[in-house]
Amino acid sequence: MIEVVPSEGGVVPAAVEVGLVVNGEARRLVVEPRVTLLDALRERLGLTGAKKGCDHGECGACTVLVDDRRIYSCTTLAVMQEGRRVTTVEGLGTPESPHPVQAAFVEHDGMQCGMCTPGQVVSAVALIAEGHAGSEDEIREWMSGNLCRCAAYPGIVAAVRAAAGGAS
Amino acid sequence: MTSVGTPVPRVDGLLKATGTARYTADIPFEDLTHAVLLQATIARGRIASIDASAAEAAPGVLLVLTHLNAPRLPRMRAFAKGGSAQQTVPALQDDRVRFAGETVAFVVAESQEQARYAAMLISVEYDEEPPAVGLHGDAYPPAKVNGQPPDYRRGDAERALADAAVTVERTYRTPVHHHNPIEPPVTIASWDDDGGLTVHEAAQGGVHMMRLGFAEALGIPRRKAGSIRVVSKFLGGGFGGKGFMWPRNILPAVAARLLGRPVKLELTRAQMYTSGGYRSETVQRLRLGADRDGRLGSIVHESTSTGSDMGEFPEPCAQITQMLYACPNVTGTHRLVRQNVGVPTFTRAPGEGPGSFALESALDELAGELSLDPLELRLRNYAETDPEHDRPWSSKGLRECYSEGAERFGWSARNPEPGSMRDGRWLVGYGMATAAYSSHTWPTFARVRIRADGTAVVRCATTDIGTGTYTVMAQVAADALGVRPGDVTFEAGDTRYPFAFPPVSSSGARSIGPAVRAAALAVRTRVARLAVKDRESPLFGADAATVRAIGGGRLARADDPERYDTFVDVLERAGLGHVEERKGYGVMPFLHSTASGIAPWPVGPLLRVATRPFAGRYSTYDFGAQFVEVRVDPDLGVVRVSRVVGVYDIGRVLNPRTARNQAVGGITWGIGMALMERTTTHPRLGKYTSPNLSGYLLPTNADVPDIDVHFLDRPDPLVNPLGVKGVGELPVVGVAAAIANAVHHATGKRVRSLPIGPAELLG
Ligand code: FES
Ligand code: FES
């Protein structure tokens, strides 16, 4: 249930309470309705794995899973995701116990600066689950919502292929 | 046993892949405040009035700075003159607007959303003046181009052109490019109670250089610059756009001082287009003269790029023409045309990137005139020595790059007739170009510490911009010490560590590497000296200078490897927690080459004379050959790059895994430059019309084909003790020309203005 808190300024919208299940954990937070899911994760919940590259749905650095679907968390408001399951890159694995896709990105050097990497990893996990990792061309196409300015693309494709079990 | 040359995986790979690597924007801060920029919406004129009262009254707002109330800030010293800035004019100092996107207000609030909202409440009225837009105005020579005079002449190129049997005369154009790293620039400034300033920066600009820049901007005397700490641990891409001090770097520190709280400024993507430089558009006129056999007798390369009142960075396009081919008569000139668009700066492969597009396209046109294979034309003009400086190369494997590349690519299958090769309905074209880049050695210091447990830590104030410095430098130190790379930690990005120049101009490996190696060897020798004086050591009495590292942290006698001691045992017996040495590299040659530019008369000239013994006797360039296959849809004019082969001479390859990744990245930059990247400017308003990532197109995963990268991997014996040259920018060079040449081969259409799209091919 969303509770509306009155605002002081009048023009500035009120803060609201939002419930999210983030990386398996139920979280409640009070945010202004204009706060994006990305900012809620980064600034309010301390989950800085998802990155802000453009804030406009153009780069994919902020990709997270909502109910297992990949979305750009910068183009949705936190309040719109009430009650949903949000998985960020932190929820997939840790340096001590990485997700197979995370390990594959290191093994195949699918990164340079690493700024796009969390988004790429989250996208890759979803893409494999979607069944879109059948060939290199298919991976290239379905990973094209995540820009990498360092252009570690061949390594990314190799990592996804390996993690999907299609390593040649 | 050696680690250098092996494909060690990135040591920070798992941190990056799990989202645990902390980039500047990710660092948590107590009591943090958030800033946003408000930028001018006109390109030239005056601020008639600015009313910030509504913003100041908005919830959460702490401070609004405009030119009416901002503290006075000095003009900055230009980078070309030994300073740290490209744009020397500071923000918020007067009512003038010099370009669209210049900062007109700086708003600080408790939250990001509050600051952003408040900025929208500021009303600004302008007196507009018509801006200068485009390279149409009067051209003037810049003071310097990359430290060189704007004009270069050898022989008499005009005369030789008049006498040439065959000539090609063409004009090539490249648009404005933006660096567009995925990480927007971020600055977090905080002052402590003792007046010390800490700045967390997404900085490619070198933390030490930025420290001096902050001192200059904030009126802190140079000798007290030690009270400023600049930190930059992980950088989400730079490419030149996060180098140097810009007004945006300074304002958070100014505001934090006024507020007594930390201030964080994160640029929006749109603001990145006007707050950290760009690659200027260029117009390049190329004139080639050759004999009937294709031997070049004359080249004239005249380049024009954007000038500004606020600082100067001429895109050094003609410099590659001055050194690349054995041609007796060469003229290269650089001119500027003043525009109201801000100061340009270094962008990956500055000069050589757009310069090679013009030169290598023109050579392809000449090959066509002569009915000569484009590769053969290059071979006929192969420069055995550096024609510009008239001295030998330290190494040049370009001939092998050509032959290896042609072999891998299957160049001999090329039917020279344009439009003759097809695959189904696709027109197929082959193109090639030469790559060369003048990577640099910059002064760098490193400190290596061996700890009691036998592990080592290396410290150097460079920044890993994604190239793999953390990994590769651990390898270099490990080999010098005789330990495993996993036993070495490389720490960077902090002014508490020894000085390093910004990692620009492909300088990282060839500057940091030798410094790290020297410091590691020095500390190893120190341990050896302790051992040979220690009666309990198996090395007692040996000559410390001949003690060898035999791996596993062991030091052995030269004459008897069975008699060895270990770092752990030597330190334990000596009762030491650690031993440490610091070494520098590249200082004197740097002083020699830059003395006249950075030091005032008569210090500069005197310094130059004093450092003459360190003048280079060889020319060092990275070389390569690019081969490209394109497919062009004859009805839609769509161009797809279907194959690339790049063969490079970068000296010794320190880590083939990270080097290959950089090469692929560079080639992809070339693909972007050829086919999609362009910042458009409104011709009348002087504003960028696509300051985003949907109008400015970057190559996506689906745009990047099979890329075959091959390194000759031949150590350059003269450049430094590691034999390593540079890899970051070289692979960009020539790719756009190779693609344009391939498009011509596929279609018979020559496109001389980038990027190449359906409009150019169908028109
Ligand atoms: S930050 Fe969300 S798509 Fe770029
Ligand atoms: S690794 Fe740098 S943007 Fe992808």
Give B94-126 as a DSSP string. Answer: SSEE-STT-EEEEEEESSHHHHHHHHHT-EEEE
**How confident is the model over B419-448, as a mean pLDDT?**
95
Closest CA to B523 of B561, B570, B557: B570
Is there a single domain that holds both residue A80 and residue A115?
no
Closest CA to B311 of B628, B85, B641: B85
* Nearest-angstrom CA–CA distance, B481 and B730: 31
Closest CA to B627 of B540, B525, B737, B551: B737
> Do A73 and A54 form a contact (C-beta atoms < 8 A)?
no
Is there a single domain that holds both residue A69 and residue A26?
yes
**How confident is the model over B6-22, as a mean pLDDT?**
97
> Do B698 and B669 form a contact (C-beta atoms < 8 A)?
no
- Residue that terminates a domain, selected from A91, A114, A131: A91
Q: Which of A65, A86, A115, A139 to mutate to test the interface with B (most CBs of B within 10 A)?
A: A115
The domain total for chain A is 2
B551: left (phi over 0), alpha (psi -120 to 50) or beta: left
Closest CA to B660 of A122, A10, A109, A33: A109
Of A94, A114, A147, which has the smallest distance from its Cβ to B21's Cβ? A114
Q: How far does the centroid of ligand 2 lie from the alpha carbon of residue B401, in Å?
A: 28
Residue B19 has pLDDT above 90, yes or no: yes
- Give B665 to chain A, closest Cα distance, Å: 5
Of B615 and B461, the one with more pLDDT = B461
Is there a single domain that holds both residue A8 and residue A86?
yes
Q: How many CB atoms lie within 10 A of CB B407?
A: 14
Domains of chain B: residue spans and CATH: 31-130+182-237+242-273 (3.90.1170.50), 139-177+278-439+620-762 (3.30.365.10), 441-585 (3.30.365.10)
Closest CA to B568 of B537, B545, B540: B537
* Nearest-angstrom CA–CA distance, A30 and B651: 57
Q: How many CB atoms lie within 10 A of CB B598?
A: 18
Nearest C-alpha to atom 4 of ligand 2 is from which residue? A148
> Do B305 and B285 form a contact (C-beta atoms < 8 A)?
no
Of B608 and B147, the one with more pLDDT = B147
Query: Which CATH number fits the domain that encloses residue A104?
Result: 1.10.150.120
> Do B318 and B301 form a contact (C-beta atoms < 8 A)?
yes
Alpha helix (H) residue ranges in B413-458: none
Query: Which CATH number fits the domain that encloses residue A13?
Result: 3.10.20.30
* Nearest-angstrom CA–CA distance, B295 and B381: 6
**How confident is the model over B5-18, as a mean pLDDT?**
97
Instruction: Flag if B25 and A48 touch (Cβ within 8 Å).
Output: yes
The secondary element (H helix, E strand) that includes residue B217 is: helix B207-218
- Residue that terminates a domain, selected from A45, A71, A91: A91
Q: How many CB atoms lie within 10 A of CB B486?
A: 12
Looking at residue B229, the DSSP 8-state letter turns out to be E
pLDDT confidence of residue B589: 77
Instruction: Flag if A12 and B468 touch (Cβ within 8 Å).
Output: no
Please write the tens of the pLDDT for every residue from B693-747: 999 999 999 999 989 999 999 999 899 999 999 999 999 999 999 999 999 999 9
Instruction: Flag if B9 and A152 touch (Cβ within 8 Å).
Output: no
Residue B663 has pLDDT above 50, yes or no: yes
> Do B152 and B389 form a contact (C-beta atoms < 8 A)?
no
Q: How many CB atoms lie within 10 A of CB B517?
A: 24
Residue B427 has pLDDT above 50, yes or no: yes
* Model ipTM value: 0.96
Closest chain B residue to A153 measured between Cα atoms?
B701
3-state DSSP: chain B helix, strand, coil percent, rounded to 5?
Answer: 30, 25, 45
Is there a single domain that holds both residue A81 and residue A128?
no
Instruction: Flag if A32 and B113 touch (Cβ within 8 Å).
Output: yes
Beta strands B123-128 and B197-201, pairing class: unpaired
Is there a single domain that holds both residue A83 and residue A115?
no
Cβ of A54 less than 6 Å from ligand 2: no
Q: Which residues contact B733 (CB under 8 A, 6 or more apart)?
A: B320, B349, B352, B353, B356, B435, B436, B437, B624, B626, B670
pLDDT confidence of residue B263: 98
Q: How far does the centroid of ligand 2 lie from the alpha carbon of residue B311, in Å?
A: 30
pLDDT tier at A168 (50, 70, 90 boundaries)? very low
Task: Name the average pLDDT for chain B.
Answer: 95
Is there a single domain that holds both residue A104 and residue A85?
no
The 3-state secondary structure of chain A reads CCCECCCCCCCCCCCEEEEEEECCEEEEEEECCCCEHHHHHHHHCCCCCCCCCCCCCCCCCCEEEECCEEEEHHHCEHHHHCCCEEECHHHHCCCCCCCHHHHHHHHCCCCCCCCCHHHHHHHHHHHHHHCCCCCHHHHHHHCCCCCCCCCCHHHHHHHHHHHCCCCC
Cβ of A53 less than 6 Å from ligand 1: yes
Among the atoms of ligand 1, which is closest to the Cα of residue A75? 2
pLDDT confidence of residue B598: 67
Residue A4 has pLDDT above 80, yes or no: no
Residue A6 has pLDDT above 50, yes or no: no
Instruction: Flag if B694 and A61 touch (Cβ within 8 Å).
Output: no
**How confident is the model over B574-590, as a mean pLDDT?**
91
Cβ of A152 less than 6 Å from ligand 2: yes
CA-based end-to-end distance of chain A: 50
Q: In this prediction, what percent of chain B has a pLDDT beyond 70?
A: 99
Q: Which residues contact B343 (CB under 8 A, 6 or more apart)?
A: B86, B87, B277, B308, B310, B311, B312, B313
Is there a single domain that holds both residue A68 and residue A104?
no
Looking at residue B280, the DSSP 8-state letter turns out to be P
Instruction: Flag if A114 and B25 touch (Cβ within 8 Å).
Output: no
pLDDT tier at B615 (50, 70, 90 boundaries)? confident
* Nearest-angstrom CA–CA distance, B397 and B417: 30
pLDDT tier at B591 (50, 70, 90 boundaries)? confident
pLDDT confidence of residue B348: 95
**How confident is the model over B544-553, as a mean pLDDT?**
93
Of B403 and B507, the one with more pLDDT = B403
- Give A87 to chain B, closest Cα distance, Å: 12
pLDDT confidence of residue B86: 94
Instruction: Flag if B701 and A105 touch (Cβ within 8 Å).
Output: no
Is there a single domain that holds both residue A33 and residue A111?
no
DSSP, collapsed to helix, strand or coil, labels residue B395 as coil
Residue B447 has pLDDT above 60, yes or no: yes
Q: Which of A42, A150, A160, A168 to mutate to test the interface with B (most CBs of B within 10 A)?
A: A150
DSSP, collapsed to helix, strand or coil, labels residue B581 as strand
Among the atoms of ligand 1, which is closest to the Cα of residue A60? 3
Closest chain B residue to A98 measured between Cα atoms?
B18
pLDDT confidence of residue B508: 82
CA separation, residue B107 to residues B60, B539, B598 (Å): 11, 66, 36
Cβ of A58 less than 6 Å from ligand 1: yes
Cβ of A60 less than 6 Å from ligand 1: yes
pLDDT tier at A3 (50, 70, 90 boundaries)? very low
Among the atoms of ligand 2, which is closest to the Cα of residue A111? 1
Of B114, B182, B660, which has the smallest distance from its Cβ to A147's Cβ? B182
Range of the domain at A157: 100-167
Of A55, A118, A146, which has the smallest distance from its Cβ to B19's Cβ? A118
> Do B581 and B526 form a contact (C-beta atoms < 8 A)?
yes
For B410, the token pair is 């299957």
Is there a single domain that holds both residue A18 and residue A80?
yes
Closest chain B residue to A115 measured between Cα atoms?
B236
Please write the tens of the pLDDT for every residue from B260-280: 999 999 999 999 999 999 999
- Residue that terminates a domain, selected from A91, A108, A133: A91
Q: In this prediction, what percent of chain B has a pLDDT beyond 90?
A: 89
Is there a single domain that holds both residue A123 and residue A81?
no
Peptide linkage before B602 cis (omega within 30 of 0): yes
* Nearest-angstrom CA–CA distance, B145 and B149: 6
Beta strands B330-338 and B197-201, pairing class: unpaired
Phi, psi of B70 (to 5 degrees): -70, 145
**How confident is the model over A144-154, as a mean pLDDT?**
98
The b/e string for B247-262 (b: 16+ C-beta within 10 A; e otherwise) is bbbbbbbbbbbbbebb
Q: How many CB atoms lie within 10 A of CB A6?
A: 7
Nearest C-alpha to atom 3 of ligand 2 is from which residue? A148
Alpha helix (H) residue ranges in B99-206: 112-120, 157-163
Any idea which residues of B carry the catalytic annotation?
729
Please write the tens of the pLDDT for every residue from A11-49: 555 789 999 999 999 999 999 999 999 999 999 999 999
pLDDT confidence of residue B441: 86
Closest chain A residue to B57 measured between Cα atoms?
A9
CA A136 to chain centre: 22
Is there a single domain that holds both residue A87 and residue A10?
yes
pLDDT tier at A1 (50, 70, 90 boundaries)? very low
pLDDT confidence of residue B439: 84
For A116, the token pair is 């796009």
* Ligand closest to the CA atom of residue B13: 2
Please write the tens of the pLDDT for every residue from B82-140: 899 999 999 999 999 999 999 999 999 999 999 999 999 999 999 999 999 999 999 99
Is there a single domain that holds both residue A76 and residue A114?
no
